[in-house]
């Protein structure tokens, strides 16, 4: 232990007196020539059980307001006399996964708390501790489905931090101006979007587009495409029993429909849009509809938003009159690394961050869906986010990506799916051929030729 580290640790304990005493003793010890030993002993004695720790946390609330996570984590640090350090991680879900796995595969302790996507528990469970011994039974307040998703081999490997469902935001001022009702099917949406787009362009806004969404080849496209499939009764790519179902006429129709939007109601650039790009186009007033996550609501109400007061929220359209409206289920969880040197403290911070005390005000400020059931009956929350009450049912029936049945290989399954979808959207392949090939590739990837139980990654 060197002198600087020891002094820093002592200051972290916020014992000013301790620091002064330490300097005094250090001078004395230096004269005696036994600096390390004496300083170490003094520090131990002064900090004792309340030794401060730094918890490294990756929780910048992807696509949400990063400052909220930082400031609530700092509140915890002040209350508990510890320190937190927020580690930056890539925004795109799949890039973030690669970054996290890189650290965990090398048994790194650089991050104590990981913010993990709803689709990763089966992929990453073995890297995280069981939170039950630390949770003080608070888990009962969360939606049971979310807890079930985070429970792998009877271990609760993460607590739900916020939930996401794909929803549609629209310009209610423009629909009113041109006399349109809310579209129920994708066909109706395409008509409303095109007519409104053309009328707005004729009126001078040449940048106006009918519909923007996330079309880049990444996890966000998997979410959009799962929604199209669901709305056309085209299945979930691989069903719960492990059968690859993607090559079917409804799925083909769904992808063909989406491809027909490119260059018509959606710019070609949508093939490179993620969450931020699509949100940017909508919030600067250049799109009639945007498919996104709930967080866009708060952003569009902010003082600097060009669309403030002009935005409505609806469930996603159905494929046909008989089809379903299916938003993809997303969301983020907080998990504690098994390589953390401060597991109990990190678990305590996870309890705090996921508590109603933090989630309630966060939902009001940033329109992020809470994971605690009781918060949905809070009048302040519903007043700030009316759609949370209006669309509650569609949140309950959100479509799940096939992450449970594919376990440790979900990332590869999703990459095959978004690549095939991107090829169809960009006109490189017909939907029929792309889905035949995708079906074969998914079958080849299945362990032993059949998707059955999760194949967990073993560190
Ligand atoms: C949102 C969702 C997450 C999803 C990601 C895709 O962050 O919460 O589940 O994987 O978007 O871009």
Q: What ligand 1 atom has the least distance to the C-alpha of 223?
A: 6
Q: How far is the CA of 387 from the centre of ligand 1 (A)?
A: 19
Question: CB within 6 Å of ligand 1 — which residues?
Answer: 62-63, 93, 117-118, 164, 219-220, 223, 275, 293, 330-332
The model carries a pTM of 0.88
Pocket probe for ligand 1: among 120, 223, 400, the residue whose CB has the most ligand atoms within 8 Å is 223
| Residue-level pLDDT at 50 | 53
d(CA 197, CA 286): 9
* Pair type for strands 311-314 and 155-156: unpaired
User: Which residue's C-alpha comes closest to atom 5 of ligand 1?
Assistant: 220
Pocket probe for ligand 1: among 94, 117, 218, 296, the residue whose CB has the most ligand atoms within 8 Å is 117
* Alpha-carbon dihedral sign for residues 17, 20, 23, 24: negative
d(CA 28, CA 37): 12
Beta bridge partners of 292: 167
pLDDT band at 457 (very low <50, low <70, confident <90, very high): low
pLDDT band at 5 (very low <50, low <70, confident <90, very high): very low
pLDDT tens digits, 8-59: 333 333 333 344 444 444 444 444 444 444 444 444 444 444 569 999 999 8
Long-range contacts of 220-223 (CB under 8 A, 24+ apart): 220/92, 220/93, 220/274, 220/275, 221/418, 221/421, 221/422, 222/401, 222/414, 222/417, 222/418, 222/421, 223/166, 223/328, 223/330, 223/401
Owner of token pair 């200051």: 11
Q: Residue 50 has which token pair?
A: 């309340």
Does residue 191 register a pLDDT over 90? yes
pLDDT band at 130 (very low <50, low <70, confident <90, very high): very high
Q: What secondary structure does DSSP assign to 46-72, as a single string?
A: HHGGG---EEEEE---TTS-HHHHHHH
Q: Residue 281 has which token pair?
A: 């186009």
| Residue-level pLDDT at 61 | 65
List C-alpha distances in Å: 450 to 120, 210, 240, 254, 445: 20, 41, 12, 26, 9
Q: How far is the CA of 124 from the centre of ligand 1 (A)?
A: 16
Q: Residue 379 has which token pair?
A: 């009048």
Does residue 357 register a pLDDT over 80? yes
pLDDT band at 454 (very low <50, low <70, confident <90, very high): low
| Residue-level pLDDT at 59 | 87
CB 10 within 8 A of CB 46: yes
Pocket probe for ligand 1: among 123, 160, 165, 220, the residue whose CB has the most ligand atoms within 8 Å is 220
Q: How far is the CA of 375 from the centre of ligand 1 (A)?
A: 22
Q: How far is the CA of 163 from the centre of ligand 1 (A)?
A: 9
HSE value, Cβ hemisphere, 13 Å, CA-based, for 190 = 13
Which residues, 6+ apart, have CB-to-CB distance to 45 below 8 Å?
none
* Pair type for strands 54-58 and 83-86: parallel
Q: Number of helices (H) and strands (E) in the chain: give both, helices first.
A: 21, 11
pLDDT band at 133 (very low <50, low <70, confident <90, very high): very high
Residue (of 445, 161, 155) closest to 331 by Cα position: 161
User: Which residue's C-alpha comes closest to atom 12 of ligand 1?
Assistant: 220
Mean pLDDT of 50-70: 81
pLDDT tens digits, 263-276: 999 999 999 999 99
Share of the chain above pLDDT 90, in %: 76
Q: Residue 112 has which token pair?
A: 């104590």
HSE value, Cβ hemisphere, 13 Å, CA-based, for 328 = 25
d(CA 434, CA 422): 10
d(CA 288, CA 314): 13
Q: How far is the CA of 117 from the centre of ligand 1 (A)?
A: 7
pLDDT band at 3 (very low <50, low <70, confident <90, very high): very low
Mean pLDDT of 215-239: 96
User: Which residue's C-alpha comes closest to atom 2 of ligand 1?
Assistant: 330
pLDDT tens digits, 200-209: 999 999 999 9
d(CA 54, CA 205): 51
């Amino acid at each position: 232990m060197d002198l600087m580290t020891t002094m820093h640790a002592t200051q972290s304990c916020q014992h000013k007196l301790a620091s002064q005493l330490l300097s005094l003793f250090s001078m004395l010890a230096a004269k005696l020539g036994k600096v390390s030993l004496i300083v170490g002993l003094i520090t131990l004695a002064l900090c004792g059980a309340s030794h401060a720790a730094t918890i490294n946390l990756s929780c910048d609330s992807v696509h949400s307001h990063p400052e909220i996570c930082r400031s609530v984590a700092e509140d915890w640090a002040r209350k508990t006399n510890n320190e937190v350090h927020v580690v930056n991680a890539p925004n795109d879900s799949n890039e973030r996964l690669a970054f996290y796995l890189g650290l965990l595969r090398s048994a790194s302790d650089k991050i104590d708390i990981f913010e993990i996507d709803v689709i990763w528990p089966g992929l990453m469970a073995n890297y995280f501790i069981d939170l039950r011994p630390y949770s003080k039974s608070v888990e009962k307040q969360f939606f049971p489905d979310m807890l079930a998703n985070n429970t792998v081999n009877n271990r609760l490997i993460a607590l739900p931090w916020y939930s996401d469902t794909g929803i549609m935001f629209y310009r209610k001022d423009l629909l009113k101006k041109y006399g349109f009702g809310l579209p129920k099917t994708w066909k109706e949406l395409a008509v409303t979007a095109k007519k409104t787009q053309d009328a707005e362009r004729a009126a001078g806004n040449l940048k106006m587009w009918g519909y923007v969404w996330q079309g880049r080849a990444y996890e966000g496209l998997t979410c959009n495409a799962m929604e199209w499939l669901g709305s056309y009764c085209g299945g979930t790519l691989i069903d719960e029993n492990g059968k690859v179902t993607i090559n079917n006429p409804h799925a083909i129709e769904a992808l063909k429909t989406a491809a027909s939007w490119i260059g018509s109601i959606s710019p070609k650039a949508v093939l490179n849009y993620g969450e931020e790009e699509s949100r940017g186009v909508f919030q600067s007033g250049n799109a009639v509809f945007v498919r996104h996550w709930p967080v866009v609501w708060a952003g569009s109400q902010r003082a600097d938003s060009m669309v403030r007061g002009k935005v409505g929220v609806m469930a996603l359209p159905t494929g046909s009159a008989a089809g379903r409206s299916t938003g993809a289920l997303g969301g983020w969880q907080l998990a504690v690394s098994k390589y953390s040197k401060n597991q109990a403290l990190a678990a305590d911070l996870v309890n705090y961050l996921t508590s109603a005390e933090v989630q309630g005000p966060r939902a009001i400020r940033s329109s992020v869906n809470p994971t605690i059931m009781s918060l949905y009956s809070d009048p302040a929350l519903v007043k700030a986010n009316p759609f949370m009450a209006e669309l509650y049912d569609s949140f309950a029936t959100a479509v799940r990506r096939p992450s449970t049945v594919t376990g440790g290989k979900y990332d590869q399954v999703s990459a095959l799916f978004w690549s095939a979808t991107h090829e169809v959207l960009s006109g490189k392949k017909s939907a029929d051929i792309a889905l035949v090939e995708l079906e074969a590739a998914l079958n080849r990837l299945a362990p032993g030729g059949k998707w059955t139980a999760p194949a967990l990654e073993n560190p």
